[in-house]
Each structure stands twice: as C-alpha cells, then as structure tokens.
Structure 1
Amino acid sequence: MTRRAKNTNDDFETREERLRESLKEQTERSIALRSKDREFHGLEREFRYHQEQMIVDFSKSKDIKHPRDVGNVREKILRNFLTTSGFLPKRYTVSSSSIRVASPTGHLSNEIDIALYDAEDSLSLMNREDIFEVLPIESVYGVIQVKSRLNREEIRNGLANLASFKRLDRQIGDQGGNILGAPKERRGFGILFAYDSDLKWQEIYQEIESFAQLHPQTEWANAICILNRGWFVHGSSTMSSALNSHIEAIEELQIHGMPDRQGTALYAFYDVLLTLLRSTTIYPAEWRQYYRLPLTAGKYSYSYYMMHFSEMGRCEKHGDYARKIEPEKLEKVINWCQTTTPINWIKAHNIAYNQPEDEAAYARQPMDVHIYNPDNLPLSEILVQDDTLDGQQIKSLAYDWIISDNMNIWIPYHYTISELIVSICPQCLVGIMKKAGRDAQPKKVRIRRKSITGNTQTVKKEASPKKASTKT
C-alpha cells in the first residue's frame, strides 16, 4: 500500500470511529425513551442487548489460554444465541458440535463449526461420541464458520472452509419458491462470522476480493459478519446480495461493506441468515447413495465397476495397496472420452474377440461404454490379453472399467500401464524412481497385477536414469 493510500485508509478509520460513536449514542438515547412507554417496541433493542452480551462473553473468553478451548467457547457463544434466543424457528436445527458434510459424490467438507439442518428428515452418516459427526449434504441448509479475531490468515482459512462445503453436489429435487417468490436456491450457503478484527476496513475488503479472484463464484461466502465492525457481501456496481443465484450471476465483482454504526451487526447477520434459510431447498437424503461412496480425484469422483476387486491391488512384496487415479490423469481420460462416440459394450467385446455381429444381443444389453484409446489401436489388441485358466490358454479381458462423469469408461491395461493412469504399489514406485536416478543403464522392473480372470499379469517397465518411463 502506498503512503497516500495508507493515510487515506487511516483517515477513513478515524472518521468511521467518530461517526460510529455519535450514531450509537443517539440510538441508545432514542431506545431509552421508547422503553419508558412500552415494554416491547421491536427487535431493535432485543438484538442490541444480545450483541452487547455476546461481545462481553467474547471478552471474558480471552482469559482462556488454550487455542482449542478458546475456539470452542466462541462457537458456543454464537450457538447459544441461535438456540436459546427464540429468534430461530424450531424447524432449523443447529449442530451441537463441529461437523463434516458428505456428498454422494464421495467428497467431504472440511470441519465446519456450525451447521443448520433439518433434523426431522436427516441422517447421521457417522457419529463418534458426539465429537465427530458427518451429515448428508441434502439435509443441510448452510454452515457458519466462527472466528475470534480476523486477520488475513483467518479470513483465508474461514473462506476456504466454507468453500469446501459449497462445492459439494446435492440432490436436485422439485423447485419451490422462497419468501420473495423467486426460485429456491439449490446450493447450500456459507457465512463467515467473527467477533473482532485487527485489520483495517480496506484490508478486510482486499482479502475477500483476493479470495474471490482465485475461486469460482459457486464457492464464495454468502456473507461475512464481524460483530463489532460490520458486514460484507459480494455484488457489482449496481447490486449486492447474499443469495447464491445472484452471486453466481455477478459479471464484474465489487465487494460491498456496511460498517456497523448503530450496533446492528447481529441483526444484519440474523436477517441474512433467516433469508438464506428460507430461500434454500433441502431434500430427504437418499441413504442408498451413501452406502458405498465413490472414490475422489480432485473435483472428480469415480467408481470401479468391479468394486473391491479393482480398487485393491496386491503387491507380492508389500501387500495390498489402493489403486488410485490422480486428478490430472482422470481429467485427461474424461476429456478424451467426451469427444468420442460410445459403443455398445457387447459389441466391443465381439470386436475384441473377433466374433460376428449380434444385433439382438446389443438390444438386450443396451448399455454403451466409452473406450479410452487415444492411439486408435485395434480393440482386439487392447481389450484382451493372452492368459491361462486351469492350464488352458485363453484370451481374457484386459481393461479397467470405471464410472465417472456419468460415463462408463473402459481404460485398457495398455494405457493403464503406459500412461500410469492407475497407480501401482506406491512403495515399488518409490523404489523404481530411486533406481532410475542411481543407475546409468535402464533396468527392467517386473510389476505383477491380477487380470479380470483372477490370474496374474506381468508387465515389463523400463526406468531411465532421468525418470521412469513405461512401456507395455
């Protein structure tokens, strides 16, 4: 920041403090006069009482030294307000502890401080002594990440945790209407809540904007509230909103900040929270989809058609290992398969085994598959391999079958091995790379894996002094 910009920022903070004190004093006098005439004259006074008490409780928590205990207490302050004030309708349940949220895609959120969900129609997918709990994304309206005193790192961490929840895919059900008559939001919401911040107003603004520039709009926080400072939302030059549909429609981002000049930050938080709750669609969780979650590779998920058989590899030296696909490898396979025309899976087998056409069989088994074959090799060369069964020479199937991006994908062992699409034994791989770095001459390494018939497939791979290259 230049000296001139810093001076301007400091001047703003000074003017803002004077204005805040002046307006706060006038508001308190006005409320005192109204209180003489009526016992209840609106939520304004009630929320000010709660806000002042929460700030007092926050100050008391400073006596606690252990960071984990401090965090638990400050989560509890906000949780108590939500559960005991009476302002939150009973249909919205507040989690009693930190939780994680799961999606049928297999992805899991980071640890979330507070979740608001439908307890009547939700499931607890995993619960360990009320300390670690996993909820299904379909029944969670949204989440709140609680911070004590925001600095730059806490802003980034808090927004990242909210993003881990907001990127989860949920079921799509019937579209209803919200309190404004607009279509209901299908994505859950995330709010960053803090009690204080040592940062200047402009510095908070810059951190929120920097995070937004590095992440898609679907992962932006719906609101950022600092109890004794004010709140922020995303918008453009003509609008600002906490609703996902509005945030995702922003073309030129402009952060909107509203300083708290009259002790209204808690009510603003509540107003946004209740609007988001009533504007968000939830669905009954489909328990069958959570029975066996797919594997994940970055933003993608995938399942082996043969399930346990294909997920697990067996190394004769090191034992069992997980056969994983790295995100960049899976993305490459998906992108290539999206450009190809699928083929009936029975027909693909007939071609591989040099069998005649059988249209009746194709009609009985209409499932199509995408075959990863960037080199356009004959199917008879890459879908089957020479094998033995009970002492007999046979042709066995030679591909991995995965389900990803709504496609049935066959990855021939030829490419599994030559491009290392599916991982081999990690301990063997480390050894291969070390030897490749030490040896001046390439050495052949034998890697054994089971074929679909249950027999063992032996593959020769060459390791050069620079890196391990693989050849069938």
Structure 2
Amino acid sequence: MKYWKILIFLVSLDQRHKYAIFYGNKLISKSKNTHKMEEPDPIHKSISELKSKAREFREKFTEFQGLEREFTFIQDDLIKKYERSSPHRKHPADLGDIREEILREFLSSTGYLPLKYGVSKSSVRIVTQTGHPSNQIDIAIYDSLNSPMLLSYSSLSFLAIESVYGVIQVKSRLSSRDDITEGLNNIASFKKLEGSDNRFGILFAYDCSLKWTTLAETVKDFMCKNTSSVWTNFVVVLNQGLILPREEGTLPYGVRNHCFRNSDLRGISKPDVIGIPDTSNTLLKFYLYLIDLLKSCTVEEPDLYQYVRLPFTTGEKAYRFTYGEIEEIGQCHEHGTYLRKISNETINKIIDICSSSEPTDMLHLFEAAFGSNNVFSADGAQSDQVYLYNPDKLPLVDILTLPNSIGLQCYSLLIDRKICIIPKYYSFRDKLIFECPKCNYPATLYFET
C-alpha cells in the first residue's frame, strides 16, 4: 500500500449495511462490520500515525505547515474541553451550555471566521416578517456588520431571517435516535422559514455512542420523510467523522465532490448518506465546508419597519388586523377586554373565498353601503385593492352597515399580502373571528348598537 498517496475512507450505507474502503475510485476491501467509527481499522490507524510522523519532520523545516496541522491541535483541544465537562453530566442544562460555548468560542475567538460573520452569544430564535419563529437554535452565524439583534437576553436572542447565514445545532453526545431526530428537526424549523432558501443548517456533536450505521440510517430516514429544502447540510461527530447526504448509488470522492451545498441537496432524488471517518481532521473538514457554505449564502439588511409590529401566526399562515389595536382588542360588557383570534382553518377559508372575489377598493365599499353622497371618507381607498368576504353574494348595504352605526361594520385583515374585508355579519354568523372566549361567542355582540 502506498501510504504517501491520499486514501479516502468512505462509509456507505446500503441495504446490507456494508461499508467500503476506497483508494481513489478503486475498491480495496468490503466488510459487514458495523462497529463505531471511533474504533479505527488498521489502515485508518496507519494513516493517522503517518500524518503525525510527517508533522514531526515538517516542524524541522517550517514554522507554519498549513491548516491541517493547526486544526489537528485545535480538534484535540476541543475534545479535551468536552471531556473535562463530563462532571456536569448530572446537570443536562449546564452541559448544554458548556458544549455550545466550546464550539462558540472556537468560531468567534480564534480568528478563523472573518469579522463580517457574527456568532450568536446565546441560543437564538430566527424570525421572519410574517412573525413565524424557528425552534430554539444553539448557534446562529449572521451578518454582524449590517444587521442588529432584534432582541437579546443573556440566554436567548432573536434575529431576522434576512441577516442569518445559517445555524448550528450542538449536541454533546448522540446517544439515541431521538437525539439525532431532535437536532434535525430544529434545523428543519429554521430551513422551512420563508426566506431561508440558501441558508444552511449543521448538526454538530462531540461524540456518538450509537453504531455508525444507526446514525446513518436515522439521518437517511429523516431525509426520506422530508423535502430536501429542510435537510441538514451535513452532520459532524467531532471524534468520529462526518455524515453527508448523497444520491443513492453514487460514491463521490474528494472534498469538492461531496454533497453538502443546498444546490447539491436539491438535485438528490433518491436520498442516501455517506460517511467520512476522522483522521484527526474532522474539525478541518467542518471548517472548510462551513466556509464554503458561508460564501455561497447571500444575506441582506432586514427592513426593520417590517419588524416593528409582527403579525399573528396560525399554522403556516400569518395575519394582521390592518387598523392594529383598534381591531385586535374587543370589549365585552361582562368580561372586559380580550384579544380577537383566528384559527388556521378560518384563515384558509377566508383566503379561498376572498381570492375568488374581484378586487375592489374601500371607496367603492363605502359608496355601495352608504350611497355616493355619503359624508364618510376612505383614506387612500383609490390606491388600495381589497378583497371582500361575501360567499353568499349579499347586497353590501345589508352586510356592511347597522342601524344607527357609523362607518363600515367589518374587520380588515392583511393575509398573504392581500387586504381582506370581513363583514361583521359573516364573522358572527360563521364564527370566523373569535370574540370573548368566556362568552363562547355570543351573537348578541354583533347586534348591540
């Protein structure tokens, strides 16, 4: 065996759970062994020993040998810091903070990330202009030069999706399928947000007590059950290696041919995974892949006006009352004030009916309800298109007015960037917008003048 050439060890999960050792693209050996990757085979061990010996010789000739040598030391240091935190294992919350801080310090304090890449100092939630948040994420990398934190506490911060390059979910040890799935789901909660198309997500762990095939199977199972847009870009187990997505039946080799970019993931039709074992260079590969993902991601400054007052969310939909607190807050004579709410089912119903109606404007609605000589005005009505909720095609005067009332009797909602006008007649009749929860939606509220 010519050890001075690059030997790539590929772990490929197939139906028989085999792994293969490849030299270039030539198969050397096959095995049914499913041992964990932290138990190196003789070839794997020999490569690590040769690398160590080569570093010793190189040190006699040059002070800086390259990133490989430096990252070997940094990786050893990170693993030692993780192992020293083991006394805190009785306190999961403390251990969680420690494991995040170890990686956070590497990313933010070593100088390997350019200054324009900010690293969150605490766990974060990413939010969109629609008001939808991600799950709580351990680390976010964001545009530190042009984008502010929307809200920051000592243990939790909020960032706008526009300013975030990607996220990293950190686990101390992957000890069950649930651990893996939980991390993948957290990343998916970020990658499914509106505006996250080219953002990345990485699952990072220091150790894994599962068989490598179990880890691979769990990641592959998640990929098969979810669209590629929410897949993690790759999985890191610092003391064992990496898991990357791939197309079933293909065996990419070489760093630049590995599938971890979003453009690669979108092209996968039959999901599978491939493993790269640790030869004291897992941290270096993580870093190189991370830099690659950061370069391929475009962020922008968030429009802070859109984050002044976020809409309400229900399911995947978002809505806001056009006139703010005037419409949001209701008044019950018996129980006082309450917040009006709308269910996800109702939002979809409103969208369906309003989308099928012809757009109009508020001036037309005023004229139809009160006549062309009315004394009321609709500010900006000529330019704002609105969609009326009127499934029964009733006369507007019958559904938009009440005896002795002033103005239109309706709610104005912004849904999917459309202004939807909901007559109170329909709202109370069909229970579209929840009124006083303690009154169980009494119809008398509508008829009081």
Q: Same fold (TM over 0.5)?
A: yes
Q: Which of 144, 147, 170 lines up with 2:171 in the alignment?
A: 147
Residues 361, 384 of structure 2: 8 Å contact kept: yes
Q: Counterpart of 1:12?
A: 33
Question: Residue 186 of structure 1 contacts residue 281 of structure 1 at CA under 8 Å; is this kept in 2?
Answer: no
- In 2, the alpha carbon distance for the partners of 1:323 and 1:235 equals 48
Instruction: Say whether the 8 Å CA contact 2:409–2:423 is kept in structure 1.
Output: yes
| CA offsets 1:332-373 (integer angstroms, 9 cap, x no match) | 22233333321233223323345499xxx9997132211122
Structure 2 partner of 1:23: 47
For residues 62 and 6 of structure 1, what CA distance do their matches in structure 2 show?
36
Alpha-carbon contact 1:387-1:396 (below 8 Å) kept: no
Match in the other structure for 1:341: 358
* Cα offset, 1:15, TM superposition: 8.8
Distance 1:127 1:20 in 2: 45
The answer to whether 1:306 aligns with 2:323 is: yes
In 2, Cα distance between equivalents of 1:404 and 1:30: 63
Structure 2 residue corresponding to 1:156, chosen from 171, 181, 192: 181
Question: 3-state DSSP class of the match of 2:422?
Answer: strand
Q: Which has the bigger relative contact order, CA under 8 A and spacing at least 6?
A: 2
**1:447-472, CA deviations, whole angstroms, 9 ceiling, x for partnerless residues?**
526xxxxxx748xxxxxxxxxxxxxx
Q: Measure the CA separation in 2 of the matches of 1:421 and 1:84.
A: 53
Q: Is the 8 A contact 1:186 1:280 kept in 2?
A: no
Secondary structure, counterpart of 1:96 in structure 2: coil
Kindly state the Cα deviation for residue 273 of structure 1 after the two structures are TM-superposed.
0.9
Preserved contact between residue 362 and residue 381 of structure 2 (Cα < 8 Å): no
Aligned match of 1:201: 212
Alpha-carbon distance in 2 for matches of 1:427, 1:230: 57
Aligned with 1:12: secondary structure?
Answer: coil
Query: Residue by residue, what CA displacement relative to the aligned partner does 1:379-405 show, whole Å, maximum 9, x if unpaired?
Result: 333222x233xxxxx475222110111
1:387 corresponds in structure 2 to 403
For the pair 1:133 / 2:154, whether they are aligned, the reply is: no
Residue 188 of structure 1, CA deviation? 2.4
Contact 1:23 1:261 in 2 (8 A): no
Deviations 1:381-433 (CA, angstroms, capped at 9, x unpaired)? 3222x233xxxxx475222110111111112223322332212223333xx8x
**2:273 counterpart (226, 249, 256):** 256
Q: Following the alignment from structure 1 to structure 2, what is the Cα–Cα distance between the partners of residues 209 and 415?
A: 48
Count of paired positions: 410
Residues 197-206 or 290-299, more deviating: 197-206
Partner of residue 47, structure 1 = 71
Amino acid of the structure 2 residue aligned with 1:23? I
Secondary structure (helix, strand or coil) at the match of 2:414 reads strand
Corresponding residue of 2:148? 123
Change (3 A) 1:7 1:97: closer
Assess, with a 3 A threshold, how the Cα gap between structure 1 residues 416 and 71 changes in structure 2: closer, same or farther.
same
Q: Which residue of 1 aligns with 2:26?
A: none
Contiguous gaps of at least 5 residues in structure 1: 171-184, 389-393, 433-444, 450-455, 459-472
Secondary structure (helix, strand or coil) at the match of 1:134 reads strand
1:81 matches 2:106: yes
Q: 1:403 is matched by which residue type in structure 2? A: L
Query: CA shift at 1:323, angstroms?
Result: 1.0
One of 288, 297, 314 as aligned partner of 2:305: 288
State the Cα distance separating 1:270 from its structure 2 match: 0.6
| Structure 2 portions without partners, runs of 5+ | 1-13, 20-30, 253-257
Asked if 1:33 corresponds to 2:33, the answer is: no
Instruction: Give the C-alpha shift of residue 283 in structure 1.
Output: 1.2
Deviation for aligned residue 1:206: 2.6
- Amino acid paired to 2:387: H
- Partner letter of residue 132 of structure 1? L
C-alpha contact 2:428 2:443 (8 A) present in aligned 1: no
Percent identity of paired positions between Structure 1 and Structure 2 = 36
Using structure 2 for the length normalisation, give the TM-score: 0.82
> 1:330 aligned to 341, 347, 350, which one?
347
SS at match of 1:107: coil
The corresponding residue for 2:423 is 412
1:377 aligned partner: 394
Offset at residue 209 of structure 1 (A): 2.9
SS of the residue corresponding to residue 13 of structure 1 reads coil
2:117–2:141 Cα contact (<8 Å) kept: yes
Counterpart-to-counterpart distance in 2, 1:296 and 1:321: 17
Q: Is the 8 A contact 1:344 1:362 kept in 2?
A: no
Q: What amino acid sits opposite 1:448 in the alignment? A: L
Alpha-carbon distance in 1 for matches of 2:269, 2:180: 22
Structure 2 match to 1:438: none
* Preserved CA contact (<8 Å) 2:361 2:386: yes
Query: How far does residue 307 in structure 1 lie from its aligned partner after superposition?
Result: 0.8
- What are the within-5 Å matches in structure 2 for residues 83-102 of structure 1? 83-102=108-127
Map of 1:279 onto structure 2: 296
Q: How does 1:196-235 map to 2 (within 5 A)?
A: 196-235=207-246
- Distance change in 2, residues 1:363/1:300 (3 Å): closer
Contact 1:399 1:411 in 2 (8 A): yes
Query: What's the offset of the Cα at 1:22?
Result: 3.7
